[in-house]
């Protein structure tokens, strides 16, 4: 990805076609780019010779804003880093501040964070897998997943009052305890939902047309996945066995058992679009098991450590990362001793995923680019911040 480009005219100079080629814009208002993104395609008919990502349409200065906002007040802004996985942005930022502050959380608060995040992981993967099917022409599976996601939204709304940008985490804990009947409601929904995953597999995961559109398309080798800094499901789909929850454990993840699915080339080559899709379906199953364990182990107690309402962190720097649905979400926080960060830098999985698209694009059909973007689960706010 040409990060040194200043404007679209420079991009066009780089993408000058030779005889027989043409330059086509895909986006920024395209339903399959999963946000306001632009791809400049150099094509020979339907076959791409090059697809150059052009980002920046959603840049809101989120990191710069942190320098002017007190630590507590910045929490709602983190929701907008990834509106499909806001809990993880909440948690990552809170953990970075807590690390510099030397703040230990009450055990119950840690478990509530885990419950909230795993519910959010399921909701995010439902959108990722459902929209991929819809992008390729299968609308019904997405409607099935939207119905299940609405059940999660109802539960989370009862927990924190919001359905998308949650603002649930707090520095030192969480904003509210479980409402009455919440645990039973989640467990009842899991009893209903887990058989629905089997139904989803029958409906679309094993559909011959859907498999043919994804299998053997844009495979990423383990070496390339590492070289391009891929994270999360995109990395594991290339058979790289790495999950922050297990390998650099944080919160109370060491106290739950779960498998880490890896790409196996189940219908084509390891690390192809189908592996990236099916791995997220498998991760949904694992999150269900984590939730069941979390409710069984949930202790009583406080949900918030004693933290000053007006924070002044000691001077220093830290880097904290969490395993979000799109992979590692990292927060590099620098404090100069003031009431707001001296510097905040956020690392997101979608930005690193965008970097490999240009390498994978030569020889693909234009329709395959839709499958590739969807399989990488790119979301525009994570790219631009």
Could you please report the per-residue DSSP string of 24-89? EEE-SS-TTSSSS-EEEEEEETTEEEEEEEE--TT---HHHHHTTS-TGGGHHHHGGG-TTSHHHH
pLDDT band at 19 (very low <50, low <70, confident <90, very high): low
Both tokens of 250, joined, read 């944080």
Q: Which residues pair with 321 in a beta bridge?
A: 330
SS (H, E, C) 230-251: CCHHHHHCCCCCCCHHHHCCCC
- Whether the pLDDT of residue 16 is over 70: the answer is no
pLDDT digits (tens, 9 = 90+) for 36-93: 888 888 888 888 888 888 888 888 888 899 999 999 999 999 998 888 999 999 999 9
> With the C-alpha atoms ordered 373, 348, 291, 272, is the resulting torsion angle positive or negative?
positive
Asked if residue 221 lies in contact with residue 238, where contact means CB atoms within 8 angstroms, the answer is: yes
pLDDT band at 1 (very low <50, low <70, confident <90, very high): very low
Alpha-carbon distance of 36 to 57, in angstroms, equals: 6
Asked if residue 163 lies in contact with residue 150, where contact means CB atoms within 8 angstroms, the answer is: no
Domains of the chain by residue range: 62-384
Q: Measure Cα distances from 128 to 99, 141, 173, 225 in Å.
A: 32, 12, 29, 20
Lowest mean pLDDT among 15-19, 132-136, 166-170: 15-19
- Whether the pLDDT of residue 236 is over 60: the answer is yes
Sequence-distant contacts of 16-23: CB under 8 A, at least 24 apart: 17/42, 20/44, 21/49
Looking at per-residue pLDDT, the higher value among 8 and 238 belongs to 238
Asked if residue 341 lies in contact with residue 335, where contact means CB atoms within 8 angstroms, the answer is: yes
How much of the chain, in percent, has pLDDT values that exceed 90? 65
pLDDT value at position 3? 44
pLDDT band at 119 (very low <50, low <70, confident <90, very high): very high
H-state helical runs in the chain: 8-14, 62-66, 75-78, 86-101, 107-135, 140-160, 182-200, 208-214, 222-227, 232-236, 244-247, 273-297, 349-354, 357-360, 366-376, 380-384
- Whether the pLDDT of residue 28 is over 90: the answer is no
Over range 341-370, report the average pLDDT.
90
Over range 275-292, report the average pLDDT.
95
- pTM above the 0.75 mark? yes
pLDDT band at 21 (very low <50, low <70, confident <90, very high): confident
pLDDT value at position 354? 87
pLDDT digits (tens, 9 = 90+) for 3-14: 444 455 555 555
Over range 331-354, report the average pLDDT.
92
Alpha-carbon distance of 83 to 188, in angstroms, equals: 26
Over range 268-284, report the average pLDDT.
93
Mean of the per-residue pLDDT values of the chain: 89
pLDDT band at 219 (very low <50, low <70, confident <90, very high): very high
Asked if residue 210 lies in contact with residue 268, where contact means CB atoms within 8 angstroms, the answer is: no
In CATH, the architecture of 62-384 is Orthogonal Bundle (1.10)
């Amino acid at each position: 990805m040409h990060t040194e480009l200043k404007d679209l005219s420079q991009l066009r100079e780089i993408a000058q076609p030779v005889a027989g080629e043409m330059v086509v814009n895909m986006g920024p208002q395209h339903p399959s780019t999963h946000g306001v993104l632009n791809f400049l395609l150099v094509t020979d008919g339907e076959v791409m010779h090059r697809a150059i990502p052009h980002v920046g349409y959603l840049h809101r200065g989120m990191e710069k804003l942190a320098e002017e906002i007190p630590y507590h007040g910045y929490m709602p802004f983190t929701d907008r880093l990834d509106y499909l996985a806001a809990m993880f942005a909440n948690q990552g930022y809170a953990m970075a501040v807590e690390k510099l502050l030397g703040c230990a959380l009450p055990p119950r608060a840690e478990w509530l964070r885990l419950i909230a995040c795993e519910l959010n992981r399921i909701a995010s993967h439902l959108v990722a897998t459902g929209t991929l099917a819809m992008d390729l022409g299968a609308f019904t599976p997405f409607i099935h997943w939207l119905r299940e996601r609405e059940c999660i939204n109802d539960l989370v709304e009862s927990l924190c009052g919001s359905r998308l940008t949650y603002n649930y985490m707090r520095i030192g804990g969480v904003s509210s305890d479980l409402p009455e009947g919440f645990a039973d409601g989640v467990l009842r929904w899991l009893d209903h939902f887990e058989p629905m995953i089997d139904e989803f597999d029958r409906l679309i995961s094993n559909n011959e047309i859907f498999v043919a559109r994804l299998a053997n398309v844009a495979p990423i080798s383990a070496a390339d996945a590492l070289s391009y800094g891929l994270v999360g499901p995109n990395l594991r789909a290339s058979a790289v066995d790495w999950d922050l929850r297990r390998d650099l454990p944080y919160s109370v993840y060491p106290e739950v058992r779960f498998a880490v699915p890896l790409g196996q080339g189940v219908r084509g080559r390891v690390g192809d679009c189908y592996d990236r899709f099916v791995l997220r379906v498998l991760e949904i199953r694992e999150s269900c098991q984590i939730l069941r364990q979390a409710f069984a182990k949930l202790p009583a107690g406080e949900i918030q450590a004693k933290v000053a309402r007006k924070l002044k962190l000691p001077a220093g720097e830290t880097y904290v990362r969490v395993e979000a649905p799109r992979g590692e979400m990292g927060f590099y926080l620098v404090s100069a001793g003031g009431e707001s960060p001296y510097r905040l830098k956020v690392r997101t999985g979608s930005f690193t995923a965008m970097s490999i698209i240009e390498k994978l694009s030569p020889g693909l059909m234009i329709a395959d680019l839709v499958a590739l973007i969807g399989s990488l689960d790119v979301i525009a706010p994570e790219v631009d911040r």
